[in-house]
Structure 1
């Protein structure tokens, strides 16, 4: 029996809607990364963009376990000498762009490289409950009900 290797004509991309309200960040990010890569499909091929398009709503209401909301620090560098900047996870979630926390978590769960950067373009994250992708008729994926550990009360 020969190993199946997908070709561009074999790829069938769907749209998936995920509500992040009350869901633990790491568990949510791992599920999103799996769907973006296409590992949930029987026809998964590692070198092809097999994954679905993912829409995440209510990104500002994602949960962090333990003291991570106050203690987790995100670092970035401006490119200038001494230009290291830091931000606390709680401040980012309450700020102007709460979707960046989920975006970074998913990005760091994907393998690095050009294919991974292409797959990240299939991820759309919104801080509120509205999104402009109703025309794509996304299928709803209920991450909160998959496992009792996926949710935490505030």
Structure 2
């Protein structure tokens, strides 16, 4: 009989989104169950304009051999 551990609860309020995601990903790879609360209160670092520009550039990237 296996005993499943209760999930780890992480409060995301005030945490930087990318760093929290990295930490959570590592713990998930180890098989841990995680629940994130207050995700809407997490912080994004950098200027808004640069974040929007990077997102648009990412969407425009294409590969001529693999599609549009």
TM over 0.5: yes
Aligned to 1:66: 46
Give the aligned length: 55
In structure 1, distance between residues paired with 2:49 and 2:15: 18
In structure 1, distance between residues paired with 2:23 and 2:3: 20
Unaligned runs of 5+ in 2: 60-66
Give the TM-score normalised by the residue count of structure 2: 0.63
RMSD: 2.5
1:53 aligns with 2:45: no
Task: Tell me the SS of whatever aligns to 1:18.
Answer: strand
In structure 2, distance between residues paired with 1:17 and 1:29: 14
- Of the three residues 20, 27, 32, the one matched with 2:19 is 27
Displaced runs of 4 or more, over 6 A: none
Give the TM-score normalised by the residue count of structure 1: 0.30
In structure 2, distance between residues paired with 1:16 and 1:28: 14
Higher helix share: 2
Unaligned runs of 5+ in 1: 1-8, 39-50, 76-80, 83-154
